[in-house]
Amino acid sequence: MKTIKEISDILNQTTNPEPWMKELEDDYRAGVKTELKKWYRNYAKKQQLEEMLQEKIDFDAAFKTAEDTLVAGVDEAGRGPLAGPVVCATVILPNEAPQLLGLNDSKKISAQERNRLASIIKDIAISYSIHIQSAERIDQINIYAATRESMEIAVTNLHIQPDIVLADAMKLQLSCKTVSIIKGDAQSLAIAAASILAKTTRDQLMDELHEEFPIYNFKKNVGYGTGEHVEALHLHGPCKHHRKTFEPVKSILEGR
């Protein structure tokens, strides 16, 4: 009779249900039943993730007019914060991307998982591009226009140009066909991939700004208007990376 540890090791190496697993259901040992239940839970979760991945792939494929049609996804990170840039990314993925199992809206997964997926996306992408739009530019033309401009620049900077661009809730003006998708990062694999690159890039930038201006704790709030951040603004005033047209930054500057 195999030990519970041996059974656990065998289960960990098993990817699909096998006939011999039925025998484990009759095993009297509680530890065996626990390991079997854990395997089935993990299997069900993997099946769900595979279905979600295929749905996103199929969503993007529905916009193709031919097998070799290149679909790019575009998304941003940082439209709402009081400080820091808005970062836009665009990605063209291959037709199949099993490595991206678990890819979802960047806000719904952990920072560690985002960084892991960002590395994979950069490795497998047919092409990707990231554009950083400064707080100064945001103040010049407003956040909506600055985000749209940044998305368009990111697409034009791709070394391989797409046939169609799917943008997350933004109407773009490009030489190719563009489609605005509401909650696109939850439906499109390409948009979700762009979301990951935009978010991880911006988080890294805000970590760097934290080293330069630690009083605002950008490492924790990534520029958003938390109570701690706003208190620091009232005490010290804004820095060069704050968006001067955003409240309460604007009122604080006017009161000085």
pLDDT in tens, 227-252: 999 999 999 999 999 999 999 999 99
First to last CA, the chain: 79
> What integer pLDDT is reported at residue 23 of this predicted model?
87
Query: What pLDDT score was predicted for residue 26?
Result: 87
pLDDT tens digit sequence for 163-205: 999 999 999 999 999 999 999 999 999 999 999 999 999 999 9
Lowest pLDDT segment from 26-35, 55-64, 83-92, 126-135: 26-35
Tell me what pLDDT residue 210 has: 98
Task: Give mean pLDDT, residues 1-15.
Answer: 90
User: Whole-model pTM?
Assistant: 0.90
The token pair at 120 is 């994979």
Model confidence pLDDT, tens digit, residues 69-115: 999 999 999 999 999 999 999 999 999 999 999 898 777 889 999 99
Could you give the CA distance from residue 242 to residue 238 in angstroms, rounded to a whole number? 6
CA 23 to chain centre: 42
Model pLDDT, residue 2:
87
Residue 106's pLDDT is what?
Answer: 77
Report pLDDT for 231: 97
Distances (CA, A) of 247 to 132, 139, 147, 210, 254: 22, 12, 18, 21, 11
Q: What is the mean pLDDT of the chain?
A: 95
Q: How far apart are CA 95 and CA 60, in angstroms?
A: 9
Contact assessment for residue 202 and residue 78, using Cβ atoms and an 8 Å cutoff: yes
Q: Prior bond to 248 cis, omega within 30?
A: yes
pLDDT score, position 47: 93
**pLDDT band at 208; cut points 50, 70, 90:** very high
What's the pLDDT score for residue 256?
67
Q: Are 190 and 91 in contact (CB under 8 A)?
A: yes
CB count within 10 Å of CB 17 equals 11
